[in-house]
Chains A and B, each alone.
Chain A
Amino acid sequence: MKNRILVVEDDTAISELICMNLTVAGYDTEALFDGKEVEALLKTDREFDLALLDVMLPGKDGFELMELMKEAKIPVIYLTAKSDVGSKIKGLRSGAEDYIVKPFEVLELLVRVEKVLERTGRQISRITVGTVEINLNEHQVTRDGQEVSLKPLEYDLLVLLAKNKNMAFTREQLLNQVWGSDYLGETRTVDVHIGQLRKKLELFDVIKTIPKIGYRLED
């Protein structure tokens, strides 16, 4: 089962960009281009785990849509070109979970989406990668039904890669996300842990080394 995300963005290029990346990372997306369309859609379909809203929309703007989202109990991340503090405050005060300013990096968008899903408890509890299944609630990893014991950092690393399937991470990004930004270790540490994961879970073909960039978990 996948998380379902509503993308409301009037610029088709950006809308497609977001949907493309969310889909690749393992989410279902629904793209809308107009504020009024959202209103119409929510009357019949409210099964969204998250909404990415552009603030400046034709029809009804992002701030106006907030009420509908609250009613439908859909957490909102604003996505906007307005970078001034006033707009950010207005966005967050109105009840948005997060606020992303354009232009944004795809990875940032994915991480923020993931964090919001985590925070609002809508994150799916199981991720499968081939024969490997990760139970996020119980912190349990099984391969072919057999439990595999992983060290905490190995587990965190696996979860990060699995949640962002097909997304390449640099070693620095992995260090930052898993070990924390204040960790002063070398990027070799990442290589060692990746090696452990590959061995323990037999994911040699799945966790790929991308030359000059880093690692990527592919389906």
Chain B
Amino acid sequence: MKLWKKISLLTAVVLFLAMGIFGGGMLYETWKYNLNQTVSSYQQQIKVNAYVIAQEINNNPLSRFSEVTRKSFLNYTVQKYGGTDYILLKNGKEVVNLTGYMLVSGEEKRFSGSDPEYVLQKTENRHLLVMGQVLKTEKKGNLKFQLILVKDISGIYEEMAKQMWLFILVYLVVIFFAVDIVFWLVRMVLKPLTELENTAGAISRGDWQRRCRVRRNDEIGKVSVAFNRMADKMEEQMEELETVSEHRRQLLGSLTHELKTPMTSIIGYSDTLLHVKISEEQQKKALEHINSECRRLERLSGKMMTLIGLYDEDRIHKEPYPVEKLIQEVADLERYHMQDSGMELQIYSESWEYRMDVDLMESLLVNLLDNAIKASEEGSVIELHGEKGCIWVQDHGKGIPKEEIPKITEAFYMVDKSRSRKAGGIGMGLALCQKIAEIHGARLLIESTVGVGTRICVIFQEEN
């Protein structure tokens, strides 16, 4: 069952019961009050009548009257004061009965108090009030007179029934409208939930930009706000994921392309060796080419693995490390390489620490130095400086044309393809550096002038 139906039904049932119980109670109380009022007014009446009739009996010498006279006297007296509603008993015997009812024998014992007692009786379809008391006839000694009032009070019951029917009618009409209103209100209150559902549905179908409109400040409004926040976050992460996978796709694309060149050589030369009659010298050349191209493939796959590994954050362990120590280590690593190429490495570092993965930072700097070596002529100087917040490598080599600078950090991009290949480059160094810098919250700033030299700064943007 839907929530709005549940809530509406529950509310309706509660409303129905509450109104019914309250209305019924009120009705019952009213009825009881009416009855009591009637009874007490008749009590007043019977008291007065009992008093005056007792006076009449006391003041007249009944015993001296003949039977007939006495009877008519009593008859007259009762009728004079009480009309046709009374029965008079003498020693338990009916002497006057002006009502249309018979008193069942034994009933008179109920009314032997000097204050009026009453019972309510139901005969056929009439409701009767029977009330009686003993008359105070002290002067008559052993004679005991009882006055009994019989009154048809069906009117009260009829009135009561009428009121009940009226109440039920009003009750039903009110309940009908109230339930309608409750249903409508609950639906109105819960309507944003439907919108929330629709929005969630749209998002799960891939409409990432969809959001709920928040118009209220209640719980549902808060849920909507929370939902929107979640959707924002999710969209953000989706975009991030997409960027990463797009990046990987491009990388894979460039990789396959980059694989084709060595593959062409390897397949071609091996094919030639198998099928073509060539001189021994040429055979040796072919084998050398196959060998060097295979090595290139190996380097390529190694770098690719490193680059892919950089996307796996679990394998990165950062710890605070003194930069001057890092620079010294990198310098030691590169010393022989530099001597081989006939270049001089000048290092300088301020003393500061940074949270880093030492292996990765080393490989970043080694990469930058290798690039600098490739770009430089024999005998030139390469500088490696670590200032606070920035480490830079400066060469005095051929430089990079301005329009090429934005592209050089792309994987497989080489400014001078044939020359880089001869130097063993595969065009991945700066892409790796870029990624490593990113991991350390840093960026690469490349400044270069053709013919003068290049300076690549690793700028640490945030204190991590």
Binding site for B on A (CB under 8 A): 10-14, 16-18, 20-21, 24, 33-34, 58, 81-82, 102-107, 166-169, 213, 216, 218
Contact = CB atoms under 8 A, between A and B. Distances in A.
Contacts of A167: 275-276
Interface string B266-288: 11110110111110001001100
Contacts of B421: 11-12
Nearest to A58: B417
Nearest to B265: A13
A106 B265 CA distance: 10
A102 B275 contact: no
B411 to A, nearest CB: 16
A27 to B, nearest CB: 13
B260 A107 contact: no
B201 to A, nearest CB: 38
Given A11-B421, A58-B416, A103-B267, A16 B276 contact: no
B264 interface: yes
Contacts of B289: 13, 16-17
B416 A81 contact: no
B293 A13 contact: yes
B257 interface: yes
Contact of B285 (A10, A16, A18, A105): A16
A207 B261 CA distance: 34
A16 B285 CA distance: 9
Given A10-B418, A17-B269, A102 B263 contact: yes
A218 B279 CA distance: 12
A104 B269 CA distance: 11
Given A17-B268, A103-B260, A58 B418 contact: yes
A150 to B, nearest CB: 24
Contacts of B286: 17, 20
Given A11-B421, A17-B272, A20-B272, A166 B267 contact: no
* SS of B interface (majority): helix
B271 A13 contact: no
B315 interface: no
Contacts of A218: 277
Given A103-B267, A104-B268, A33 B418 contact: yes
A216 B285 CA distance: 22
Nearest to B257: A81
Nearest to B296: A13
B292 interface: yes
Contacts, number: 89
A105 B274 contact: no
Contact of A103 (B268, B274, B276, B418): B268
A166 B417 CA distance: 33
B64 interface: no
A72 B425 CA distance: 35
B253 to A, nearest CB: 11
28 contacts: A11-B264, A11-B265, A11-B418, A13-B262, A13-B289, A13-B293, A16-B285, A17-B269, A17-B289, A21-B272, A24-B277, A24-B278, A33-B418, A34-B418, A58-B417, A58-B418, A81-B260, A81-B264, A82-B257, A103-B268, A104-B264, A104-B267, A105-B267, A105-B268, A107-B271, A107-B275, A166-B277, A167-B276
A20 B421 CA distance: 21
Contact of A14 (B261, B275, B277, B278): B261
B422 interface: yes
Contacts of A11: 261, 264-265, 418, 421
Contacts of B275: 106-107, 167-169, 213, 216
Contacts of B416: 58
Contacts of B418: 10-12, 33-34, 58
A12 B419 CA distance: 10
A216 B277 CA distance: 8
Please give me the 8 A-B residue pairs with the lowest Cβ-Cβ distance, nearest first.
A103-B264, A168-B275, A81-B260, A166-B277, A13-B265, A102-B264, A17-B268, A103-B263
Nearest to B277: A166
Interface string B299-318: 00000000000000000000
A138 B16 CA distance: 114
B278 A20 contact: yes
A103 B293 CA distance: 13
A159 to B, nearest CB: 18
Nearest to A173: B275
Nearest to B282: A20
A106 B417 contact: no
A32 to B, nearest CB: 11
B260 A102 contact: yes
Nearest to B419: A58
Contacts of B263: 102-103
A166 B261 contact: no
Contacts of A33: 418
Interface string B387-421: 00000000000000000000000000000111001
Contacts of B272: 17, 20-21, 106
A81 B265 CA distance: 12
A103 B418 CA distance: 19
B303 to A, nearest CB: 19
Of the listed residues A11, A82, A167, the one surrounded by the most CB atoms of chain B closer than 10 A to its CB is A11
Given A20-B282, A58-B416, A81-B261, A14 B268 contact: yes
